[in-house]
């Protein structure tokens, strides 16, 4: 596996536990559905009104009426259900989502996330990002480590916040970081990278775990 986005998605899939209700955000997070561990029963919720979403369909099995929140064709698992946005956001805001996987423009050492707007650029709106960040029991950020050589993991976010102090884990193509009261703890290196390379690409001092994998 060499695609950085697939590396990120496959690693995040390992975090999901049997019976979890999981919401996958737009972008890299949607790929997580393609790497679920065999034998682990995950219930994937899509904010546009699906409970029991499956992985991406093969080209010959695309149903244009079954799409995720990003408008991409998806499959559904046996027993899946469809509902309106009011029910969907009631599930999210009611604390019934165990894990949400979100993309991000920036994350900082306090677990703050900015992922909905770059000032001056047109966007359709925040979507469900704020509700998911605040309502899910665990928030995992899935993103490419830097943008055009500019760090996205920072001392403090520079873009407008989506939510404050909500991020539990950051997974990039370079490694895995956990948000702790002391700062960002580097717990894993992905193959092909050193801790020095990860630090150089990061805009805040990382704490190296003594059990770094």
Annotated catalytic residue within 6, 15, 47, 173: 47
Q: Give the per-residue pLDDT at 125.
A: 74
Is 15 considered catalytic here? no
Q: Give the per-residue pLDDT at 40.
A: 87
pTM over 0.85: yes
pLDDT tens-place values along the chain, 213 residues long: 689 999 999 999 999 999 999 999 888 998 998 898 888 899 999 999 999 998 889 999 999 999 988 888 999 999 999 999 999 999 999 999 999 999 999 999 999 999 999 888 877 777 889 999 999 999 999 999 999 999 999 999 999 999 999 999 999 999 999 999 999 999 999 989 999 999 999 999 999 999 999
Q: Give the per-residue pLDDT at 145.
A: 98
Cα–Cα dist 82/51, whole Å: 6
Q: Give the per-residue pLDDT at 155.
A: 97
Q: Which two tokens stand for residue 110?
A: 């306090």
Burial class (CB in 10 A: 0-12, 13-18, 19+), 151: middle
């Amino acid at each position: 596996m060499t695609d950085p986005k697939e590396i990120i998605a496959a690693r995040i899939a390992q975090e999901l536990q049997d019976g979890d209700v999981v919401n996958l955000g737009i972008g890299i997070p949607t790929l997580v559905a393609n790497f679920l561990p065999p034998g682990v029963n995950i219930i994937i919720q899509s904010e546009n009104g699906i409970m029991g979403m499956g992985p991406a369909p093969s080209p010959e099995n695309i149903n244009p009426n079954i799409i995720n929140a990003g408008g991409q064709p998806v499959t559904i698992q046996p027993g899946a259900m469809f509902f309106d946005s009011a029910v969907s956001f009631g599930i999210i805001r009611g604390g019934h989502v165990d894990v949400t996987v979100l993309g991000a423009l920036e994350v900082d050492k306090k677990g703050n996330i900015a992922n909905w707007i770059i000032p001056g650029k047109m966007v359709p709106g925040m979507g469900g990002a704020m509700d998911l960040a605040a309502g899910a029991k665990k928030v995992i950020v899935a993103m490419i480590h830097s943008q055009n050589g500019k760090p996205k993991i920072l001392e403090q976010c520079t873009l407008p916040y989506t939510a404050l102090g909500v991020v539990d884990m950051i997974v990039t193509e370079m490694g895995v970081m956990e948000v702790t009261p002391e700062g960002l703890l580097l717990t894993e290196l992905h193959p092909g990278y050193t801790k020095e390379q990860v630090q150089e690409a990061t805009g805040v001092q990382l704490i190296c775990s003594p059990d770094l994998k």
